[in-house]
């Protein structure tokens, strides 16, 4: 294709991507470099139904001129990125000097909000992604070998977790694991411990969130692998059977290599999705035991009354960087494999 033709061909996609992806990211980045102007406090008396007291208020006159001159706020450079709510370099250096052992140092670092969120986010991604891949493949192979009559209904039922809205699905599960819910009460009976609570223990909460994550994402990988299974070449499969390969060997040496590109695709999607884990933490009310980068952003925008846009912007940028780092190994592998097969073709 000529360069000129290629340019006109790609132009609509490119402009849409710039408009809807690149520009918003740039704007978030610019916002993350700014903080609010100084708020001048004036002491005043506040009175209401419950009496009067000394209080303070923002002197609007004093801050208005500043706001109009620099509507974005005060330029803060990358300092938001390294403050205590984010990378916390100063705090970590301080803890490193003060800690007497590596254990206490790590415990103190874990106490910082960003690292606490990162720890859960990474664990969640690392656990959920492989499970979704392996179980998705297992379910796909299983469904594929069912008699034709049962296939349709089984596929439909297997897709249910994805059809249910994530927020609703996790809320239902949240009520089921309650001490009075069907799962929670059964567990209490089985372990003969009336105070057993999935919501009160950090470990059990983490397990519950990950089990939910696997349950929710499984249909996606299942349906992708199932589609792939329909294209496994019959000739190769028959040749393997004639050569005396067992079912397991056929799966290992014919089916899985054939599905490898799909596995890369599912891995990429899952890494991105899982790194942004959000809904289950909110609907399970699990913030006491588990936070994620997305929850931190949500909190900055919602919970302190007047939103902290700079802080939320900085965490968003770091989420994007985190996803990019996670995806790099997969992308490099794909690129190398692509080059190798291209070389073979020549």
**Contact footprint for other proteins (CB under 8 A):** 35-39, 41-51, 53-58, 60, 63-64, 74, 76, 80, 83-85, 91, 111, 113, 178-179, 194-195, 197, 199-200, 202, 284-288, 299, 302-306, 308, 310-311
Question: Residue 259 and residue 237: Cα distance in Å, rounded?
Answer: 14
Smallest separation, CB 198 to other proteins (Å): 9
Q: Which residues contact 269 (CB under 8 A, 6 or more apart)?
A: 220
The strand ranges marked E within the chain are: 34-35, 41-48, 51-58, 74-75
CB 306 to other proteins: min, Å: 5
- What is the DSSP secondary structure assignment for residue 38, as one 8-state letter? P
Q: For Cα atoms 89, 92, 96, give the angle at the middle one, nearest 5 degrees.
A: 140
Of 91 and 256, nearer to other proteins (C-beta) is: 91
CB nearer to other proteins: pick between 113 and 211: 113
Tell me which DSSP letter residue 164 carries.
S
Nearer to other proteins, 57 or 321 (CB): 57
| Coil vs helix vs strand at 36 | coil
Cα separation, 321 vs 121, in Å, equals: 14
111 or 186: CB nearest other proteins: 111
Provide the total of helices (H) and of strands (E) in the chain, helices listed first.
16, 4
Rounded CA-CA distance 291/294 in Å is 8
**Closest distance between other proteins and the C-beta of residue 167, in Å?**
15
What is the closest distance, in whole angstroms, from the C-beta atom of residue 36 to other proteins in the complex?
4
Q: Rounded to the nearest whole angstrom, what is the least distance from the CB of residue 286 to other proteins in the complex? A: 8
Least CB distance from residue 100 to other proteins, whole Å? 16
Nearer to other proteins, 3 or 45 (CB): 45
Nearer to other proteins, 223 or 296 (CB): 296
Q: How far is CA 302 from the centre of its chain?
A: 19
């Amino acid at each position: 294709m000529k360069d000129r033709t290629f340019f006109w061909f790609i132009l609509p996609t490119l402009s849409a991507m710039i408009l809807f992806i690149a520009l918003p990211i740039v704007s978030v980045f610019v916002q993350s470099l700014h903080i609010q102007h100084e708020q001048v406090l004036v002491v005043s008396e506040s009175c209401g139904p419950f009496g009067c007291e000394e209080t303070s208020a923002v002197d609007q006159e004093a801050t208005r001129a500043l706001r109009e001159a620099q509507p974005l706020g005060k330029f803060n450079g990358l300092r938001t990125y390294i403050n205590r709510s984010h990378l916390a370099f100063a705090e970590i250096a301080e803890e490193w000097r003060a800690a007497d052992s590596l254990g206490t140092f790590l415990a103190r670092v874990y106490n910082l909000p960003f690292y606490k969120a990162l720890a859960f986010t990474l664990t969640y991604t690392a656990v959920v992604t492989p499970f979704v891949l392996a179980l998705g493949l297992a379910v796909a192979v299983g469904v594929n070998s069912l008699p034709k009559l049962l296939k349709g209904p089984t596929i439909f039922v297997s897709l249910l977790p994805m059809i249910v809205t994530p927020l609703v699905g996790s809320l239902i599960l949240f009520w089921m694991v309650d001490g009075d819910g069907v799962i929670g009460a059964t567990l209490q009976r089985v372990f003969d411990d009336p105070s057993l609570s999935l919501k009160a223990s950090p470990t059990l909460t983490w397990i519950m969130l990950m089990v939910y994550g696997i349950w929710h994402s499984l249909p996606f990988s299942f349906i992708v692998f199932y589609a792939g299974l329909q294209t496994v070449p019959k000739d190769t499969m028959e040749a393997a059977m004639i050569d005396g390969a067992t079912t397991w060997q056929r799966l290992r040496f014919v089916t899985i290599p054939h599905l490898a590109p799909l596995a890369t695709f599912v891995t990429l999607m899952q890494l991105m999705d899982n790194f942004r884990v959000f809904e289950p933490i909110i609907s399970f009310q699990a913030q006491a035991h588990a936070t994620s980068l997305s929850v931190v952003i949500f909190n900055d925008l919602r919970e302190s009354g007047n939103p902290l846009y700079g802080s939320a912007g900085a965490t968003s940028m770091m989420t994007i960087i985190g996803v990019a780092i996670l995806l790099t190994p997969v992308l490099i592998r794909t690129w190398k494999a692509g080059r190798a097969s291209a070389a073979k073709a020549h």
